[in-house]
Structure 1
Amino acid sequence: MPGLATIFFFQFFEHGSSTQRRELANKLFGHVLTLSIQMYGCRVIQKAIEVVDLDQKTKMVTELDGHIMRCVRDQNGNHVIQKCIECIPEDSIQFIISTFYGEVVTLSTHPYGCRVIQRVLEHCTDTNTQQIVMDEILQSVCMLAQDQYGNYVIQHVMQHGKPHERSFIIEKLAGQIIQMSQQKFASNVVEKCLTFGGPSEREVIINEMLGTTDENEPLQAMMKDQFGNYVVQKVLETCDDQQRELILSRIKVHLNALKKYTYGKHIVARVEKLVAAGERRIGLQSSQYPS
């Protein structure tokens, strides 16, 4: 479907009457799969799925039955599958969702599949579906966290998942926080754990970073690392005041040494900013209580 035809279809679906939309949708029947994997055609199918009546949406997507995985892995078709999940009632697209059972981890590590899995997590409320999909994700937390696409799925669960799902992820990462923080993709997951984890879970991560001796070896390694330094900055941003004081005291010992490292300089800048902010806060408090 060429670009001009796409614009024509778009305009009618967007602004036409319900009768015109129904007539236009009828013209698409028999061509849904072909159009879904075309650059311009997929946009028409997405718009139709947004605006046509439910009976027509349902009829249209049945043409994809047996070709779901092909569409998910296609640079155009994946957008159609995402739109189906977003706009069509779950019980009408169960044949789409059930295709993903047993394939969740594989899809999560695919450039387009990971987007589809995120839409499932957002829009599918059926208890059985939620259980199946989440179980598959949680069985492969560490692998997905380190994957260039899978990490987005784990981040999504950390941000939007249930508390026990977040806890499970942090529990799986515990003991590997330093290693994960120095890995390009997993470091983003650790940052999400710090942002959305509870106080006790954040404490587990912080304790692991501080290490068991006064040498601060794990913290030193992270501060000099191109990815780890951002995790340390996120810790300073998300921890409570008492933890921040402890971490700052550990960092200050190494400030001069950190200035010699490209990524260490990021930490130095953040610490100096925090120290200055703390001094301003103390100054303001003192001015409120003059002697």
Structure 2
Amino acid sequence: MNVHRRQNSKRKGEDASKFVNAQLADFAGDLYLLCKDQHGCRFLQRQLDADDAVVALMIFNEIYLHIVELMTDPFGNYLIQKLFEKVSGAQRVILVKNAAPQFIRIALDPHGTRALQKLVECITTDEESAIVIAALATHIVSLSRDLNGNHVVQKCLQKLKPADNQFIFDAAATNCIEIATHRHGCCVLQRCLDNGSPEQCKQLSTVVAAHCLQLSLDPFGNYVVQYVLFKGDMESVATIVKAIRSDIVNLSLHKFGSNVIEKSLRSDNGFIPRQLIEELLEHKQDMSKMLHDAFGNYVLQTSLDVCNKEDFDKLSAILKPLLPNVRNTPHGRRISARIQNVLA
């Protein structure tokens, strides 16, 4: 009797020593069980490292019907990730087809998400892409808002061709607010803008711009607005600037809205900060409120940092009479020092 063969399939774990000097053939018929054992899984991964097609085929033949279970297994998922890299294209298509009906469950699983991301990385054919798209297309919102699922969407954005990712942009544009106002969803939208074609980015940026005031007041949505200001098309950026200019004081006094105003003031496009500073100068009556506000004072500090000499003089003239009331506060001292240093 072969001493390497598993004697009791009900044992919780394998003895690492039994794999010393062992051969894959010693465990023929038991490879599926080895995948779910820490030492057995490592043994199988070492076998795959040899880049032997016969080894990959042997493992494939014993596990392809268990692909979903192994992708979500604490140990098996590591073996599956390596197997995706080693099998032939035809074999990987079989694995993709077998797993596709459960892609959503896999994506939401802390182990499965890693295996599914690796699968997306390994895709080489249009057939595989089509299967992935069909399985994920109607679940982009829930995936984007999930701790594990959002990474699968991001991996698709990074690895699939832009045309193949159109289903993500369509869902993102249709459900922009729901995705943008979520901790994980806002990151997905930013990756959309990093990886989309110019047309896809404009599709999404246009929707963000249309809702920019609502999103600017959100803990997560404000980051999406800031990202469009940084990477969006000129038309979308102009729409955002026009909107925030119309509500500049309220945004400046808001914890998250003030971030958007400061981002706009620091834009490389000099026309944008000039417009906003001109608007601020039209609200002289609100300067005292902004100066005393925990967020508004930062907007004023940023304005002083970025404005030209003419606007600096105008802003300083408004602020100087108000500074004695805040001279004992940190922000009051910073603004006073900024004005005095320039005027000196």
TM range (shorter): 0.7 to 0.9
Select 1:173's aligned residue among 224, 244, 248.
244
Aligned partners of 2:179 and 2:185 also within 8 Å: yes
Select 2:262's aligned residue among 191, 214, 234.
191
Query: Is residue 38 from structure 1 mapped to residue 103 from structure 2 by the alignment?
Result: no
Quick one: structure 1 residues 251 and 82, their matched pair in 2 at CA, closer, same or farther if it must change by over 3 Å? same
Q: Give 1:98 deviation, angstroms.
A: 2.7
AA at the equivalent of 1:258: V
Q: Give 1:195 deviation, angstroms.
A: 1.3
Aligned residue number for residue 291 of structure 2? 223
Query: Is residue 124 from structure 1 mapped to residue 189 from structure 2 by the alignment?
Result: no
SS in 2 for 1:83: helix
CA RMSD of aligned residues (A): 2.9
Give runs of aligned pairs for residues 61-100 of structure 1, distance below 5 A.
Answer: 61-100=133-172
SS in 2 for 1:30: helix
Q: Deviation digits for residues 180-211 of structure 1, max 9, x if unmatched?
A: 10011111111111111744432332233234
Q: Deviation digits for residues 213-252 of structure 1, max 9, x if unmatched?
A: xxx4322211211111111111122212332233234323
Q: Deviation digits for residues 107-157 of structure 1, max 9, x if unmatched?
A: 222333322222222222163x44543332222221111122221111111
Aligned partners of 1:72 and 1:116 also within 8 Å: yes
Aligned partners of 1:166 and 1:197 also within 8 Å: no
Quick one: structure 1 residues 241 and 74, their matched pair in 2 at CA, closer, same or farther if it must change by over 3 Å? same
Q: Deviation digits for residues 61-111 of structure 1, max 9, x if unmatched?
A: 432233333322322112111211221012223333333443223322233
- Supply the distance in 2 between the matched residues of 1:45 and 1:168 (Cα, whole angstroms): 38
Q: Give 1:178 deviation, angstroms.
A: 0.9
AA at the equivalent of 1:266: H
Aligned partners of 2:169 and 2:204 also within 8 Å: no
Greater Cα offset, 172-181 or 116-125: 116-125
Select 2:340's aligned residue among 275, 281, 284.
275
AA at the equivalent of 1:165: S
Query: Is residue 104 from structure 1 mapped to residue 204 from structure 2 by the alignment?
Result: no
Quick one: structure 1 residues 209 and 126, their matched pair in 2 at CA, closer, same or farther if it must change by over 3 Å? closer
- Supply the distance in 2 between the matched residues of 1:275 and 1:8 (Cα, whole angstroms): 65
AA at the equivalent of 2:320: K
SS in 1 for 2:174: coil
AA at the equivalent of 2:151: H
- Supply the distance in 1 between the matched residues of 2:155 and 2:110 (Cα, whole angstroms): 15
AA at the equivalent of 1:81: V
Q: Which has the larger radius of gyration?
A: 2
Select 1:203's aligned residue among 274, 277, 282.
274
Give runs of aligned pairs for residues 223-262 of structure 1, distance below 5 A.
Answer: 223-261=291-329
Quick one: structure 1 residues 94 and 206, their matched pair in 2 at CA, closer, same or farther if it must change by over 3 Å? closer
Aligned partners of 1:167 and 1:197 also within 8 Å: no
Greater Cα offset, 233-242 or 179-188: 233-242
Aligned partners of 1:177 and 1:190 also within 8 Å: yes
Aligned partners of 1:211 and 1:218 also within 8 Å: no
TM-score (norm 1): 0.78
Q: Which structure would you say has the larger RCO, counting Cα contacts within 8 Å and 6 or more residues apart?
A: 1
Aligned residue number for residue 26 of structure 2? none
User: Which runs of 5 or more structure 2 residues have no equivalent in the other structure?
Assistant: 1-71
